[in-house]
């Protein structure tokens, strides 16, 4: 007597291995991306196009990692030199920078003059040199004050004309421009976008 639990060979066939009819292939292609097939059929695999094949990335050596970090730091420094940081953003700040960069400022000589004054004020120096150093210091200080007042007045006038709805604090803008004015032109960040003498 045949066993009731024995299955026919036709029943043992895996439906997932059966070929699809043309109508089933078309329906398979038109199914949405998140479609889950019913039980008994194999889940379709996603295409590998655009994916990185597993196991192809080689870990960097110590020297390569150092070189990559150096390159990234150099790129970040160059970007900062060109564009500046968050404190340099905004049209009013750009205008203040252009006002300073379009003119020669006494402040660019301030630190160089301060070094000369420091050396000349030494007690070992003759009295005439010490007097000249003190006079130079006074002249530099007065020049920086006058320059700062002129720069601030020009910035105030241009900001009120071009940005009447600006919410920028003018005192902060003046200080920003004055600190730039006493920095050597080649060391200014962001780098100057206008030449000396250009109209602003």
Q: pLDDT digit string (tens) for 90-136? A: 999 999 999 999 999 988 888 888 888 888 888 888 988 989 988 99
How many CB atoms are closer than 10 A to CB 77? 11
Which residue do the tokens 């602003």 mark?
200
DSSP state of 1: -
Q: Please tell me which residue, 74 or 149, carries the higher pLDDT value.
A: 149
Which residue do the tokens 């003018």 mark?
170
Residue 7 forms part of a structural domain = no
Residue 118 forms part of a structural domain = yes
Residue 70: closest CA among 56, 57, 60? 60
The pLDDT tens digits for 154-184 are: 999 999 999 999 999 999 999 999 999 999 9
* 93 in Cβ contact with 193 (< 8 Å): no
Q: How many domains does the chain have?
A: 1
Residue 30 forms part of a structural domain = no
**How open is the CA angle 48-50-65, to the nearest 5 degrees?**
115
pTM for this entry: 0.61
Check residue 17 and give its pLDDT.
Answer: 52
Measured CA to CA, the distance from residue 159 to residue 173 in angstroms comes to: 10
pLDDT at 62 over 80: yes
Residue 125 forms part of a structural domain = yes
The pLDDT > 90 percentage for the chain reads 38
The boundaries of the domain holding residue 179 are 89-187
pLDDT at 5 over 60: no
**How open is the CA angle 192-83-171, to the nearest 5 degrees?**
70
Residue 164 forms part of a structural domain = yes
The pLDDT > 70 percentage for the chain reads 70
Mean pLDDT across 189-194: 92
pLDDT at 72 over 80: yes
pLDDT tier for residue 147 given thresholds of 50, 70 and 90: very high
Residue 33 forms part of a structural domain = no
Check residue 10 and give its pLDDT.
Answer: 46
Mean confidence (pLDDT) of the chain = 80
Residue 121: closest CA among 110, 106, 132? 132
Residue 27 forms part of a structural domain = no
Residue 52 forms part of a structural domain = no
Q: Please tell me which residue, 65 or 50, carries the higher pLDDT value.
A: 65
Measured CA to CA, the distance from residue 110 to residue 181 in angstroms comes to: 10
Start-end of H helices in the chain: 22-29, 62-83, 91-101, 110-120, 127-162, 170-181
Mean pLDDT across 7-23: 54
φ, ψ of residue 37 in degrees (nearest 5)? -70, 160
**Cα–chain-centroid distance for residue 162?**
27
């Amino acid at each position: 007597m045949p066993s009731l639990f024995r299955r026919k060979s036709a029943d043992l066939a895996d439906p997932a291995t059966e070929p699809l009819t043309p109508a089933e292939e078309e329906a398979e292609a038109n199914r949405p991306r998140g479609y889950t097939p019913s039980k008994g059929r194999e889940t379709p695999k996603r295409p590998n196009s655009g994916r990185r094949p597993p196991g192809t990335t080689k870990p960097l050596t110590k020297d390569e990692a150092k070189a990559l970090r150096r390159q990234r730091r150099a790129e970040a420094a160059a970007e900062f030199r060109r564009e500046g940081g968050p404190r340099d953003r905004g049209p009013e700040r750009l205008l203040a920078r252009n006002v300073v960069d379009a003119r020669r400022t006494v402040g660019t000589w301030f630190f160089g003059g301060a070094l000369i004054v420091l050396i000349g004020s030494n007690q070992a120096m003759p009295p005439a040199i010490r007097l000249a150093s003190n006079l130079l210091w006074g002249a530099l200080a007065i020049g920086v004050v006058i320059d700062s007042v002129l720069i601030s007045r020009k910035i105030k006038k241009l900001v009120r004309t071009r940005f009447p709805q600006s919410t920028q604090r003018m005192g902060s803008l003046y200080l920003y421009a004055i600190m730039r004015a006493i920095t050597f032109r080649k060391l200014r960040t962001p780098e100057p976008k206008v030449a000396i003498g250009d109209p602003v």
